[in-house]
Amino acid sequence: MTCRVIETPIGPLTAAADKGAVVWLLSGAMPPARYPPTPEEEALLDRLEQQLKEYFCGVQRDFDLPVRLTGTPFQRQVWEQLRQIPYGEKRTYGEVAAALGRPKASRAVGAACGRNDILLLVPCHRVVGKNGALTGFSAAGGLAAKEFLLRLEQTSEETP
């Protein structure tokens, strides 16, 4: 596994690549991995860093990097559903639950969002509370970061 701290407008994000996939992208700076990096992992993190720079400039809208989602079957279903939310759009926890065929599971969807280890590539910031209230995102830089990301995507959508 290879780790790298990437500076962003929402603060440092620590990325990790392992065996050809991004395995996490989390808020904050973490100590480097104890294993020597492989050229493939370094190249993947180079691509991630470039795509993040372009995302924060409003150019990159979709990430085309391989990810490996690690969690329960339900969590992975939620995360895959989040990856279907288009750039610049939002869904409520209830809408995500309904899309999964489990309309009463909005709290479980919220819990799965809170366990997301791959920020931005699995866009949990696009999920909001009932009536559009900003909630969650505590482990990912807080509501200020979530608001920044939503505003960035909305502004980029409006730019011709």
Is 3 catalytic? The answer is no
Nearest to 2 by CA among 27, 26, 28, 38: 38
Give yes or no for a contact between 40 and 56, defined as CB atoms under 8 angstroms apart.
no
SS (H, E, C) the chain: CEEEEECCCCCCEEEEEECCEEEEEEECCCCCCCCCCCHHHHHHHHHHHHHHHHHHCCCCCCCCCCECCCCCHHHHHHHHHHCCCCCCCCEEHHHHHHHCCCCCCHHHHHHHHHCCCECCCCCHHHEECHHHCCCCCHHHCHHHHHHHHHHHHHHHHHCC
Cite the active site residues: 124
